[in-house]
Amino acid sequence: MEPKILSGKEVSNSVYAALKGRITTLKSQSIIPSLAVIIVGEDAASQVYVRNKTRQFSNHGLFSDTITYPSDITQEVLLSKIYELNKNIQFHGILVQLPLPNHIDEDAIIDAIDPKKDVDGFHPYNLGCLAAGKPIFIPCTPKGIMRIFHHYNITISGKHVVVVGRSNIVGRPISILTSLKQANSNGTTTICHSGTDNISHYTKQADIIILAMGSLGYLKGDHVKEGAIVIDVGINRVTDNSPKGYKLVGDGDQLSLSEKVSAITPVPGGVGPMTIAMLVENTVEAAERTQV
């Protein structure tokens, strides 16, 4: 049987519909949820991601301003911009697109962002709150994955969730979210990573697999059990003859997986649109919190 396609596009539309009233209420108080985006360097993929994010801000009547720096910018200049944005009450959220050039200490940059404006949820304060089961800002991609589970009535409780990847952006926070003792969670979560021997030993036992290691077509049908659910966070560029010159492919081999799995997120149109919808939602939350 063909697997169910878990459409992040569809779920994101329901997120935007639910946000509409909240945005209208804020606007009636003359508050436009606003995001400052910092992008450093010429990385083509980062530029596309940032454009996709800011496009949804304007589509939904929110404001965003993108500040672009050349790749040789110093850490000091970047830090002083963040300190300035922390104080600027026009902006409810600050996002520094990652990765940053090697000469810049990413942790120092993230630490400098006011946790109240950290709509990415990457600041150690926000990651700590999440780990303690009292989240304030939840990182956008993991939050979006949980929303996909909720939308499609996928129960996590009692299931074995295998996360492949341990980054602070996806793997670590989704491993926390899927194992918290709360509604729509309560799973038994295993994290696999570059130090794991024989990752397929774990993925073959999984009810739900979350692929977040950035490795083109890594997971094959042979690596999963019949009926598993696969969430594919990978976005890899493969050159082709299309006008763009490339297509996007996930970390899962969709062809062989589709013969085994019961449900799977597509790439593109799966997790990607949810990351952006959750960024919009987190920015609306940040704006609402300035009210209380």
Shortest distance (Å) from residue 257 CB to ligand GUN: 23
Shortest distance (Å) from residue 141 CB to ligand GUN: 6
Q: Which of 81, 118, 120, 254 is catalytic?
A: 120
Q: Which is nearer to ligand GUN, 10 or 43 (CB)?
A: 43
CB-CB neighbours of 205 under 10 Å: 14
123 close to 113: Cβ distance less than 8 angstroms: yes
Closest residue by beta carbon to ligand GUN: 98
Shortest distance (Å) from residue 235 CB to ligand GUN: 9
The residues binding ligand GUN (CB under 6 A) are: 95-98, 120, 140-141, 169, 275
Q: Which is nearer to ligand GUN, 94 or 208 (CB)?
A: 94
Shortest distance (Å) from residue 56 CB to ligand GUN: 13
Whether 120 sits among the annotated catalytic residues: the reply is: yes
Q: Which of 97, 116, 232, 254 is catalytic?
A: 97
Strand pairing partners for 236?
249
Q: Which is nearer to ligand GUN, 19 or 110 (CB)?
A: 110
Whether 43 sits among the annotated catalytic residues: the reply is: no
Q: Which is nearer to ligand GUN, 98 or 206 (CB)?
A: 98
Instruction: Report, as residue numbers or ranges, the catalytic residues.
Output: 53, 97, 120
